[in-house]
């Protein structure tokens, strides 16, 4: 199943100030409940990528170059998509096992993109 990301609010957030006080360069949302944002010029590092899975996690990753930030943004979107595909829903018979797998996948994501 391929579910694609799309620009948040049809791209209306591009150029706005993001959560890391930088200018938003990219801002995408996944229909299964996630968001990822790339900012330039924030207070902590030259580039910041913030992301979250609604109701589950928030994470920020910093980069020193735009090339690294763009590469990591794509890798993070791909990893988030994989996590979302395995998330439990209320109807899942193996809800508790899938929930535990989701938390483990999130922990691996945070470690990979710290």
78 within a domain of the structure (yes/no): yes
- Computed on alpha carbons and rounded to an integer, the radius of gyration of the chain in Å comes to 14
Instruction: Establish if 22 belongs to a structural domain.
Output: yes
* Of 87, 112, 70, 109, residue with least CA distance to 33: 87
For the chain, the domain total comes to 1
Q: What is the pLDDT of residue 33?
A: 94
Does some domain include residue 1?
A: no
- Alpha carbons within 13 angstroms on the beta-carbon side of residue 103 total 5
Mean pLDDT in each 10-residue stretch from start to end of the chain (114 residues)? 82 97 98 97 95 96 97 97 86 77 93 94
Hey, which residues does 36 pair with through a beta bridge? Answer: 28, 51
Q: What's the confidence (pLDDT) of residue 3?
A: 61
The reported pLDDT for the residue numbered 1 is 41
What pLDDT score was predicted for residue 100? 87
Show the domain range for 24: 6-112
DSSP code, position 96: H
In a domain, 56, yes or no: yes
In contact, 49 and 98? CB cutoff 8 Å = no
Is residue 70 in some structural domain?
A: yes
């Amino acid at each position: 199943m391929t579910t694609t990301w799309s620009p948040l609010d049809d791209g209306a957030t591009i150029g706005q100030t993001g959560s890391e006080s930088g200018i938003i360069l990219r801002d995408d949302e996944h229909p299964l409940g996630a968001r990822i944002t790339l900012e330039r010029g924030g207070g902590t590092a030259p580039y910041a990528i913030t992301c979250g899975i609604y109701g589950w996690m928030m994470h920020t990753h910093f980069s020193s170059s735009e090339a690294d930030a763009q590469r990591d943004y794509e890798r993070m979107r791909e990893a988030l998509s994989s996590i979302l595909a395995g998330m439990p829903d209320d109807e899942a018979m193996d809800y508790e096992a899938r929930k535990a797998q989701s938390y483990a996948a999130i922990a691996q994501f945070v470690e990979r993109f710290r």
